[in-house]
Amino acid sequence: MFAFTTEPAYAQQADAADRLAGYKKEFHFPVKDGREVIYFCGNSLGLQPHSVQAAIETELNTWRELAVGGYFNGKNPWLYYHQYCIPTLAKMMGAKDNEITVMNALTVNLHLLMLSFYKPTPSRYKVIMEAGAFPSDQYAVETLVKHFGFDPDDAIIEIAPRAGEKIVRTEDILTTIHSTGDSLAMVLFGGINYYTGQLFDLAAITKSAHAVGAIAGFDLAHVAGNVPMQLHDWKVDFAVWCSYKYLNAGPGAIGGVFVHEKHAGNADTPRLAGWWGNDEKTRFKMEKGFIPKTDASGWNISTSQVFNTAALKASLELFEKAGIENLRKKSLHLTAYLEYLLQQLPHLNFEIITPSDPEQRGAQLCLYFRERGKEIHDKMISSGIIVDYREPGVIRVAPAPMYCSFEDVYRFYEILKTNF
């Protein structure tokens, strides 16, 4: 699809033609030895947009000048603060506005949503997930089934790659769902596996789960702001994500939630409640009896986290202008270019374990080193290349399209070719 070369002119021409190139100037980059680093770690923590400082100062000013009056007045009345993020997130996730909310943090939201949707019986209690899921997901599912009195070794089915392979075949996921059948209560997959970078077929997994009467839920931590979704049309039951990776909302930033309207619109859908999820018409009556809002914000528990959401609001304004489809198009080009250049470096003795099919990955390529992986990672860091390392032996390289350029990818290649 792309006629790549190893000449620097290719990167220069690609950047010149890139309509999103200007967004790079909207972010703060760490500097090493007087030069901006090559930042390929947005899959772990996104860079800070320049607009974040002013966004936070706006709310500090409101607090200083209006105090409690900030809930109803000021530039961004706090009473509705979580709502300001919904429209852009809904576009990214392929959702309706009433299916999206922001609250808490990723794993807290995962626990809350699984408690709503995991309704085990003596015969239907199994949970299917990918082997090697991110530890928080493993811990969450383990403690969930224990909470209901089940043995994790019996209740949790983990789907692993076949012998000698690094990624999970979709056919194996679907076959396992089908064979588990009436004993399956829920499927809980990561949208993109953190270690391999594999993007799972969420539509097929959801359809297969529903065919046997099970719930389909997803952890989209590595998807949000990276790959466009169609959660509503795929009929996904629920999904959660963080906003500190590709969404650039800062460390510990507010988490995101999707609940399909067939559940969100039903006031009888079980949930743990707090007053911020109560119908606003009766919230301030301070009476007994929880009356949930009939949208995803019916899962909100506590008062909107203004300062923990301000950076996300600022970052989403950039996403709204850039467009998630445009970012995905650039990402496909950028990641394919990275893959091509890495293939020109056989002396480093690594394997790209992320699927080569662009439709089965996002911005991240995972380089598996059978030996010296941590040593090579540390040398990259000292050379001004910010990537991260995951045991065993994987260096994760993720050029986020919002602020990474083709020249960044070429510089990365040149440093590895010359110095490693």
Q: Please report, in range form, the residues annotated as the binding site for pyridoxal 5'-phosphate.
A: 106-107, 134-137, 219, 222, 244, 275, 303
Amino acid at 350: F
Sole residue written with tokens 């019996």: 154
Which parts are annotated binding residues? 106-107, 134-137, 219, 222, 244, 275, 303
Residue 30 in 3-state DSSP? coil
Under 8 Å between Cβ of 27 and 311: no
Cα–Cα distances (Å) from 187 to 95, 107, 127, 173, 235, in that order, read 20, 16, 6, 10, 13
Under 8 Å between Cβ of 411 and 8: no
As given in the structure block, the two tokens for residue 118 are 């995991």
**Cα-Cα-Cα-Cα dihedral sign, residues 385, 391, 394, 400:** negative
Longest dimension (CA), the chain: 70
As given in the structure block, the two tokens for residue 103 are 């609250």
Contacts of residues 15-18 at CB distance under 8 Å and 24 or more positions apart, as own/partner, are 15/405, 15/406, 15/407, 18/330, 18/405, 18/406
